[in-house]
Homo-oligomer: A and B are copies of this chain.
Amino acid sequence: MVQALTSHELVGLLLALGLLLAVARVLGELAKALGQPAVLGELLAGLLLGQSIFGRFAPEAFGWIFPSAGGPKVFLDSLGILAVTLFLLVSGMEVNLETLWRQGRVALSVSLWGMLFPFACGFLAAWTFPRLLGHESSEHLLVFALFFATALAISALPVIAKTLMDLGLYRTDLGMVVIAAAVVDDLFGWVIFAIVLGLLNGEAVEGLAVGRTVLTILGFALFMLTLGRWLLHQLLRWVQNHSSWPGGVIGFTLALTLFFAAFTEWIGVHTVFGAFLFGVALGDSSRLREQTRDTLDRFISFFFAPIFFAGIGIQVDFFGNFDLLLVLTILTIAIFGKVIGCGLGGRLSGLPWNQAWAVGFGMNSRGAMEIILGLLALQAGLITQRMFVALVVMALVTSLISGPMMKRLLIQKGKGRRFFHYLNGKTFCNPLTGRDKWEVIGQLSAKVGAAYRLDPRAVEAVVVEREKTMSTGLTKGVAIPHGRLAGLKEPVVALGFSRMGIDFNSLDGSPVYLVVMILTPLEDADAQIHLLAEVARTFKSLHNLGEVAELTDFGEFLAWLKAQVE
């Protein structure tokens, strides 16, 4: 029995994997500590371990650990494909289609404008000035223009969701619009990119001819979002009932991911497309338990993803291919297209200007998705290394400016508006006696009605309607049910504490103890954002919520709260 690798090669390979994981983790932690996405640290790890730094200072060790040919190279490259395929599975699982239908007109307008406008900008720019964008041959110009347009139109849902959470905007109306619009852009972006790859691979693939490839991609996408999704949910239910947990579901998910990846590779696209669509179809099934998601998400995020992203740094010479003019050009077109597109979409559907621009900068994050798109285009020979490096820089810069810009546009001008200014002994309720979230909302609505001479049924109606769209449970036992009420002059805040804990279907699954109900004037669109964001930020760092159980007197509670906030 012959071993595939010599012992010497195997030692080098294990060191390679260990180094990729360790350095990516350390720099990923550093990036996080500085408030930056982990993928930035992972890419930097690849730079450190790559030709330009590690390879320059220890060329012999570099040649052993990251050889440019042979068994270990084959293994690392193939593991990279497996890694990015699994990464797209978990990215797809985060896409919840139902979010979109619930958001209606504004989200639809933002997502369409935010996709079509940058797409048009990108297409025209690439078609008119291909050489400026690093496309040197005249071959494949249409495909190149389509690719560049897609690269500008795509969003990065995970980065966007994280930015919104950090700012405390995730549960606001605006946050939900951004998430829903990003879902659409992500989904269509991948479908269009699949078509680009299909066109590019053309007759080279063994599966199908070009025209049929495009039809197959569209048909497959449509199937996975409709009938296929339904079938998968039925199948998942069967698997959950008839197999041991969680092995059955994990095995089922991973095996099907590989089969769908094989299918899309076979039709001439790429493995990631099948994995992503399978993730989308599977991910919004309520049958998929939180723990199963967590197991997949964690292992893939902390084993496969760092190996993939750090591996990019080994393969690509970032220093030698950094072209400042190209970087600035792409950055300008990318930011212009996305921010203006989304901003117009938001404004046209009724958002005030500051919110419309904030939506634009939120959607502007390209994150990991752009990097993957670029790498696939690079591997397919569609773009040059210079262009790839420029896309990576664009992805990072757009992600980095997203949070600060949203903060500036939305939150800073509302700094004087502290939610506890609106608190009131008459709307303070400790303990809450309601046994579920609807009873609690009813109880607080009655308090608000009595204190401010409002119709408690009208208050309850707007809050319940909003709650049904998407849970307002945050993390660590806090929920912020809210609504916008016509005719209100000033915001109204009611606060209650439940000793038993209420199931609010929160972000972290924990029961809710502190309920902060916030009503804002229908006409004052910013009030909701300021107050919700402030409540979310105030209670994020709170650890001893249990103390509130004793503070049945409003004065005592207010003193405690102010001590916490300062």
Contacts and interface: CB of A to CB of B under 8 A. Distances in A.
Interface of A: 1, 3-5, 7-8, 10-11, 13-15, 17-19, 21-22, 24-25, 28-29, 32, 38, 71-75, 77-79, 81-82, 85, 201, 205-206, 242-244, 246-248, 250-252, 254-259, 261-262, 265-266, 268, 271, 291, 294-296, 298-299, 301-303, 306, 315, 378-379, 381, 385
A258 B14 contact: yes
Given A74-B75, A295-B299, 9 more contacts: A1-B315, A1-B385, A10-B271, A11-B262, A14-B258, A15-B258, A15-B259, A18-B256, A298-B299
A250 B78 contact: no
Contact of A299 (B38, B262, B265, B299): B299
A74 B3 CA distance: 9
Contact of A265 (B11, B72, B81): B11
Main secondary structure of the interface of A (DSSP, over half): helix
Nearest to A301: B247
26 contacts: A3-B77, A5-B78, A7-B265, A11-B265, A14-B271, A17-B258, A18-B257, A18-B259, A21-B254, A21-B258, A22-B251, A22-B252, A24-B251, A25-B248, A25-B252, A28-B247, A28-B251, A29-B243, A32-B244, A71-B74, A71-B78, A79-B79, A246-B298, A291-B294, A294-B295, A299-B303
Contacts of A385: 1
A78 B75 contact: yes
A244 B299 CA distance: 14
Nearest to A251: B25
A255 B25 contact: yes
B22 A73 contact: no
Nearest to A266: B11
Nearest to A18: B258
A438 to B, nearest CB: 23
A387 to B, nearest CB: 12
Contacts of A303: 250, 254, 299
Given A3-B77, A5-B77, A298 B301 contact: no
Contacts of A32: 244
Contact of A247 (B7, B14, B296, B302): B302
Contacts of A306: 251
Contacts of A21: 251, 254-255, 258
A298 B296 CA distance: 9
A258 B25 CA distance: 14
A257 B265 CA distance: 33
Contacts of A255: 18-19, 21-22, 25
Contacts of A71: 74, 78
B262 A14 contact: yes
A127 B5 CA distance: 32
Contacts of A301: 247
A206 B64 CA distance: 14
Which of A1, A261, A271, A378: most chain B Cβ within 10 A? Answer: A1
A22 B270 CA distance: 22
A386 to B, nearest CB: 13
